[in-house]
Amino acid sequence: MFARLALIGIGLIGSSIVHAARRAGIVDHFAISTRRAETLAEAEALGLGDSYHLDAAAAVENADLVIICAPVLAYQAIIERIAPALMPGAILSDAGSVKAHVVEVIRPHLPEGVHFVPGHPIAGTEHSGPSAGFATLFDRRWCILTPEPNADPAAVKKLSAFWRALGSHVEIMEPDHHDLVLAITSHVPHLIAYNIVGTVADLEHDTKSEVIKFSASGFRDFTRIAASDPVMWRDVFLTNRDAVLEMLGRFTEDLSVLQRAVRSGDGKKLEEMFTRTRTIRRSIIDAGQETAAADFGRPHGKPDGAG
Amino acid sequence: MFARLALIGIGLIGSSIVHAARRAGIVDHFAISTRRAETLAEAEALGLGDSYHLDAAAAVENADLVIICAPVLAYQAIIERIAPALMPGAILSDAGSVKAHVVEVIRPHLPEGVHFVPGHPIAGTEHSGPSAGFATLFDRRWCILTPEPNADPAAVKKLSAFWRALGSHVEIMEPDHHDLVLAITSHVPHLIAYNIVGTVADLEHDTKSEVIKFSASGFRDFTRIAASDPVMWRDVFLTNRDAVLEMLGRFTEDLSVLQRAVRSGDGKKLEEMFTRTRTIRRSIIDAGQETAAADFGRPHGKPDGAG
């Protein structure tokens, strides 16, 4: 499908693309580039690529597909560096969690004849780095593409086929709409998880030890997404501010209502609220986006990290 | 260890106690009682007990251990009914998520010679009902006992041994302290999870479908604990109000700070915040309270609910 895929950034997403594309047998040559020499050496030690480049421009030379898999605020420097080296007819895409900002940054630098099709695979784990990737990460998950109205249909079609070959379902969306939907499905949940874990981190030492000890009562679920890559998430909140603040506003309004129900002892309201939320989880399981197994299928009674 | 264990309530916790105690071979006779005839019939169809009683008083007759496994606001009616039937020398315990309120309700009704040792196993899943239980639920999880200062040490020791035989670690704590620690590890996380799932439930229909579709980006983690038993959780918030409001206050203060950092584009503060929360998760994994496997060990790429 592609003769040379250049990956700019080789963390969880970049390395998972390698594994999934190798499984599918749709790329001849993987050119891997990342800014830090240690990360590049780690990728090489793992045997992820066919060539390794500290210079992103060298990686994209002759590449018919380039995917930026780096934190969003790194895009400016990346596009300035690679734009002159991009091959006419190449497809340029990315895996960033925000899309309107990405379009704004990339568009002014885009060379004639290069097809820009931004993308966002809705998949991940709390682990990061070149060793975190695995071939099944994108299976049955969505990948959203946000091409501009004048994008080349053949390029969009080819990139869609690429993500389908990686195991994903593909959805086409406008960048602004993507950012609003992701604000509530992803960005605000991460902010809230980071926040409550932060509240615990600020507790006095003794109470904090107890929270860790008794975390199985609910808290530990929040710590998973609060363990995600900090730089990636910093960039999400810096570049999708308006949508995040809009959805966060709705969340805090609703929380005030719930807080008042607790304060006034309004059992009827609490029970009603706690009942209707069950159907949302059922819908997510029915949509194939979650396991029905109790506790996410977490191991019970096994020793530490037995997974 | 016990000749007759009476379980008042046979949901997730009650049925898991049966499975775990059978595995350990420490109870001769399981007497099961619950208010609703359908639930009792379900427990009987599952073969959970040795005798079944719609009348809780009949279940506790000659029982040397009685554990109330019902929503906390049902305790008043239960203790009024069973108090006259409790055997002198019996241990009366429970599995409720709040403890100070439980002590207040039970103490005035406690017959002479009955040993009251409140308990709270820190274990659970989002599933409820007699069929939700399993033998390994308590393995390597904590069970907190909150005996009063004048409690019989032999009774506390015997109940501790019981929970250890079920696979748990046992901790002794004061009721008020238990309620404060659980407010932040369990009650506030549940309230927040219910709240964000409620925010999504209020979105217009089209956006809601998209949230379900793209829930794998973070939101779906919250839906698990927001699928827990509504009546049990209603009772938690009605009976642990002060501690919940105190911890919720800290959470919302912290959220205002984080919201301001997003609004003002303070990347340094965001990154710092997102970095320190990682160590909390590491501590929880090191404490054996969580798996180190990516995504809780959730299955990737498997069909719906393959678990």
Q: What is the CA radius of gyration of chain A?
A: 21
Q: How many residues comprise chain A?
A: 307
- The pLDDT value recorded for residue A292 is 87
Confidence of residue A144 (pLDDT cuts 50, 70, 90): very high
> Does residue A306 surpass a pLDDT of 70?
no
Over range B162-173, report the average pLDDT.
Answer: 97
Beta carbons within 8 Å of B46's beta carbon, 6+ residues apart: B15, B130, B131
User: Does residue A305 form part of some domain?
Assistant: no
Residue A40's H or E segment, with its range, is helix A37-45
What is the identity of the amino acid at B114?
V
- The pLDDT value recorded for residue A49 is 98
Helices then strands, each counted (H, E), chain B: 13, 9
Shortest distance between the Cα of A246 and any Cα of chain B, in A, equals 11
Which of B229, B247, B265 is at the close of a domain? B265
What global pTM score does this model have? 0.91
Q: For residues B139 and A306, what is the distance between their CA atoms, to the nearest angstrom?
A: 14
On whether both A61 and A160 belong to a single domain, the answer is: yes
Nearest to B255 among A180, A195, A218 (CB): A195
**ipTM score above 0.95:** no
Q: For residues A242 and A238, what is the distance between their CA atoms, to the nearest angstrom?
A: 10
**pLDDT tens, position by position, B42-70:** 999 999 999 999 999 999 999 999 999 99
Reduce the DSSP state of residue B228 to 3 states and report it: coil
> Does residue B128 surpass a pLDDT of 80?
yes
Instruction: Report the CATH number that the domain containing residue B186 is assigned in CATH.
Output: 1.10.3660.10
User: Does residue B299 form part of some domain?
Assistant: no
- The pLDDT value recorded for residue B60 is 98
- The pLDDT value recorded for residue A205 is 80
> Does residue B303 surpass a pLDDT of 70?
no
Q: What are the strands of the beta sheet with B65-68, ordered from one edge?
A: B51-53, B27-33, B2-8, B65-68, B91-94, B115-116
**β-bridge mates for residue A144, sequence order:** A120, A171
User: Does residue B106 form part of some domain?
Assistant: yes
Reduce the DSSP state of residue A7 to 3 states and report it: strand
Shortest distance between the Cα of B62 and any Cα of chain A, in A, equals 33
Q: For residues A256 and A249, what is the distance between their CA atoms, to the nearest angstrom?
A: 11
> Does residue A304 surpass a pLDDT of 70?
no
Over range A140-148, report the average pLDDT.
Answer: 96
Interface residue B273 vs chain A (CB under 8 A): yes
On whether both A157 and A191 belong to a single domain, the answer is: no
- The pLDDT value recorded for residue A302 is 64
Over range A162-182, report the average pLDDT.
Answer: 97
Reduce the DSSP state of residue A110 to 3 states and report it: coil
Over range A32-43, report the average pLDDT.
Answer: 97
Shortest distance between the Cα of B89 and any Cα of chain A, in A, equals 31
User: Does residue B287 form part of some domain?
Assistant: no
Q: What is the mean pLDDT of chain B?
A: 94
On whether both A190 and A141 belong to a single domain, the answer is: no
On whether both B146 and B212 belong to a single domain, the answer is: no
Interface residue B149 vs chain A (CB under 8 A): no
Note whether B297 and A298 are within 8 A (CB).
yes
> Does residue B304 surpass a pLDDT of 60?
no
On whether both A189 and A252 belong to a single domain, the answer is: yes
> Does residue B205 surpass a pLDDT of 90?
no
Reduce the DSSP state of residue A105 to 3 states and report it: helix
Over range B279-297, report the average pLDDT.
Answer: 88
User: Does residue B297 form part of some domain?
Assistant: no
Over range B134-139, report the average pLDDT.
Answer: 96
> Does residue A303 surpass a pLDDT of 80?
no
- The pLDDT value recorded for residue B141 is 94
User: Does residue A270 form part of some domain?
Assistant: no
**pLDDT tens, position by position, A43-60:** 999 999 999 999 999 999
Name every chain A residue with its beta carbon within 8 A of the beta carbon of B233: 270, 274
- Within 10 angstroms of residue B260's Cβ, the number of other Cβ atoms is 11
> Does residue B307 surpass a pLDDT of 60?
no
Shortest distance between the Cα of B48 and any Cα of chain A, in A, equals 20
Reduce the DSSP state of residue B68 to 3 states and report it: strand
- Cβ distance of A273 and B305 shorter than 8 Å: no
30-59 in chain A: CB under 8 A from chain B: none
Q: At what angle do helices B205-213 and B188-201 cross, to 10 degrees?
A: 130
Q: For residues A194 and B21, what is the distance between their CA atoms, to the nearest angstrom?
A: 38
Beta-carbon-side half-sphere exposure of residue A265 (alpha carbons within 13 Å)? 5
Shortest distance between the Cα of B198 and any Cα of chain A, in A, equals 6
Q: For residues B188 and A256, what is the distance between their CA atoms, to the nearest angstrom?
A: 13
On whether both B169 and B155 belong to a single domain, the answer is: yes
Q: Which segment of A8-22, A165-179, A216-230, B253-267 scores lowest on mean pLDDT?
A: A216-230
> Does residue A291 surpass a pLDDT of 90?
no
- Which of B22, B12, B39, B21 has the alpha carbon at shortest distance from B132? B12
Which of A150, A173, A196 is at the close of a domain? A173
On whether both A199 and A184 belong to a single domain, the answer is: yes
**pLDDT tens, position by position, A188-226:** 999 999 999 999 988 888 888 899 999 988 899 999 989
> Which one-letter DSSP state was computed for residue A150?
T
- Within 10 angstroms of residue A253's Cβ, the number of other Cβ atoms is 12
Q: For residues B256 and A253, what is the distance between their CA atoms, to the nearest angstrom?
A: 13
- Cβ distance of A181 and B291 shorter than 8 Å: no
Shortest distance between the Cα of B224 and any Cα of chain A, in A, equals 7
On whether both B69 and B168 belong to a single domain, the answer is: yes
On whether both B125 and B246 belong to a single domain, the answer is: no
Name every chain B residue with its beta carbon within 8 A of the beta carbon of A137: 300
Beta-carbon-side half-sphere exposure of residue A199 (alpha carbons within 13 Å)? 26
Interface test with chain A among B168, B253, B277, B289, by most A beta carbons within 10 Å: B277
Residue B279's H or E segment, with its range, is helix B267-286
- Cβ distance of B225 and A221 shorter than 8 Å: yes
Over range A82-88, report the average pLDDT.
Answer: 98
Q: Which segment of A40-44, B127-131, B197-201, B267-271 scores lowest on mean pLDDT?
A: B197-201
User: Does residue A121 form part of some domain?
Assistant: yes
Over range A171-195, report the average pLDDT.
Answer: 95
- Cβ distance of B190 and A245 shorter than 8 Å: no
Interface residue A212 vs chain B (CB under 8 A): yes
Instruction: Report the CATH number that the domain containing residue A102 is assigned in CATH.
Output: 3.40.50.720
Note whether B119 and B145 are within 8 A (CB).
yes
- The pLDDT value recorded for residue B302 is 64
Token pair for residue B68? 């109330």
- The pLDDT value recorded for residue B206 is 80
Note whether B182 and A210 are within 8 A (CB).
no
On whether both B128 and B32 belong to a single domain, the answer is: yes
Report the share of chain A in percent with pLDDT over 90: 83
Confidence of residue A276 (pLDDT cuts 50, 70, 90): confident
- Residue B177's closest chain A neighbor by CA? A207
Which of A173, A208, A236 is at the close of a domain? A173
Q: At what angle do helices A241-264 and A188-201 cross, to 10 degrees?
A: 60
User: Does residue B272 form part of some domain?
Assistant: no
Nearest to B281 among A224, A234, A286 (CB): A224
On whether both A6 and A98 belong to a single domain, the answer is: yes
Expressed as residue numbers, the domain containing A234 is 177-265
Q: For residues A121 and A271, what is the distance between their CA atoms, to the nearest angstrom?
A: 36
On whether both A66 and A48 belong to a single domain, the answer is: yes
Confidence of residue B216 (pLDDT cuts 50, 70, 90): confident
E-assigned strands of B128-255? Answer: 142-145, 169-172
Q: How many domains does chain B have?
A: 2
> Does residue A278 surpass a pLDDT of 90?
no
Q: For residues B41 and A57, what is the distance between their CA atoms, to the nearest angstrom?
A: 70
Reduce the DSSP state of residue B96 to 3 states and report it: coil
Interface test with chain A among B142, B208, B296, by most A beta carbons within 10 Å: B296
A172-176 long-range Cβ contacts below 8 angstroms, 24+ apart? A172/A144, A172/A145, A172/A146, A172/A147, A173/A144, A173/A145, A173/A146, A174/A146, A175/A99, A175/A100, A175/A102, A175/A103, A175/A118, A175/A146, A176/A99, A176/A100
Nearest to A265 among B187, B194, B241 (CB): B241
- The pLDDT value recorded for residue B279 is 87
